[in-house]
Amino acid sequence: MPRSSTAIRDGGPGVDALDLARLQFAMTTNLHFLFVALTLGLAPLVAIMQTRHVLTGAAIHERMTRFWGQIYLINYGVGILTGLVMEFQFGLNWSGLSHYAGAVFGAPLALETMVAFFLESTLLGLWIFGWHRIPPKVHLALIWLVTLTAYLSAFWIMVANSFLQNPVGVEERDGQLVLTDFGALIGNRHLAWSLPHVVGAALVTAAFVMIAISSYHLFRRTSASEFFTRSLRTAVVTALIGTILTVVSGHLSVFPAERTQPGKFDAPAIDGPFYTMLGIGDALMLFSILVMLPLLRRDRLARWRWLHPLLIALIPLPYAASVLGWVSREVGRQPWLIYGKLRVADALTPGITADMILASLIGFAVVLGILVVLDYVLIAGAARRGPDDVALGTPPPTPGAPPDMDAPARSLIGEQG
């Protein structure tokens, strides 16, 4: 039976602790996912670029691996910090969730942290420092394992989220949920289409970031025109695959959601975000199919400079669609945190006040704001400098030559003055 709602604590007239806690979680989760989307999308593209280098020996594929790999690493490193900020909230604001369903909800999160995240970080470290030190095929295997563990991490996160949408494989004992069927947990009908939808959204995000950066250099007619023409081709094909996967899985995910949460997409609170998200997804798919893909022939997309500012301007759309998709999925479940089992109000930490949440909200907003700006500055700087100034994979100095200790710092943050 659903738990009964408790009184909401507040810290003053007109201030609601529950609303502030929801706002805080929405802010931190959305910002963190924007980092995750680019990381998930870039990982397989970098792995494919390195595979082409190992198979063909072509230097341009190594340059592409190093340049786009550095963009990936910057986003990954800063994204980890945003994830740590987000994790704090489970203990701060939502201890009721841990008490009632920690044995179930915490299982996939623990697997994501211990198996996927730590393994991914270890493998990535070996890949970063293994350039020119380990055999090429072993080095290539590392980036593919990094990609595999990244998507394994996304899988466990979506298992946990799908449980909140459709709590299966559990029963309530002594006021707490107990996992009775692990197979039902990972076979959740909400997971079947939501996971491909997230994967597609990540590919779209990475593709349009690559399109924007490539268009920037092609518009400026930099010396690396062949490099960014090839990158543009890769990104357009990825955008085509990603938009089709996102749109198809997104539409199909509506059916299991309607079966388990009737009327979810008719709620006024998500009507606008939901249909705006669908509109952006459909528009990006049609633009990929009808405009970008045909213009790849004879490299017209790379040569038509008048089109490049438009391609650069498209970069916010995948991010906006990701935020709107999260709002549609999460807000439409209200007032339930675990649908039919636990209300959001009951998951709030007992005794917490609006003043306490407001203080942490301001603190988190400042930290996350700094991280977002830092990520943008570092990625924009690396993108602007292009593939001729990359720290990742820099060959070791020739024997007898003094090492240039400042080279990695210059490549990462750029020359000043």
Report the percentage of the chain scoring pLDDT > 70.
91
pLDDT (tens digit per residue) in 241-283: 999 999 999 888 888 888 888 877 777 778 788 889 989 999 9
Total H helices, total E strands in the chain: 16, 4
Average pLDDT over residues 110-138: 89
The encoded tokens of residue 294 equal 């045909």
Residue with tokens 């990972």: 186
Residue with tokens 């994979």: 393
- Rounded to 5°, the CA angle 111-116-122 comes to 135
pLDDT band of 81, cuts 50, 70, 90:
confident
Q: Are 31 and 19 in contact (CB under 8 A)?
A: no
Whether the upstream peptide bond of residue 335 has omega within 30° of 0, thus cis, is yes
Average pLDDT over residues 95-123: 87
How many CA atoms within 13 Å lie on the side-chain side of 295?
19
Q: Is residue 303 part of a domain?
A: yes
DSSP H helices, 93-117, are: 95-111
Round to whole Å and give the CA distance between 43 and 221. Answer: 27
What pLDDT does 270 receive?
Answer: 80
The encoded tokens of residue 129 equal 């420092």
**Which neighbouring-strand residues pair with 342?**
338
Q: Is residue 238 part of a domain?
A: yes
Q: Is residue 362 part of a domain?
A: no
Cα–Cα nearest to 376, from 295, 315, 291, 309: 315
Domain range for residue 225?
A: 209-352
pLDDT band of 404, cuts 50, 70, 90:
low
Q: Is residue 319 part of a domain?
A: yes
Q: Is residue 272 part of a domain?
A: yes
Q: How many independent structural domains does the chain possess?
A: 1
The encoded tokens of residue 282 equal 């459909």
Task: Look at the alpha carbons of 380, 384, 385, 387 in this order and tell me if their dihedral is positive or negative.
Answer: positive
Task: Look at the alpha carbons of 224, 229, 232, 233 in this order and tell me if their dihedral is positive or negative.
Answer: negative
Q: Is residue 88 part of a domain?
A: no
DSSP assignment letter at 117: I
Q: Is residue 285 part of a domain?
A: yes
Q: Is residue 367 part of a domain?
A: no
Round to whole Å and give the CA distance between 165 and 129. Answer: 41
Q: Are 74 and 375 in contact (CB under 8 A)?
A: yes
pTM of the complete model = 0.90
pLDDT band of 6, cuts 50, 70, 90:
very low
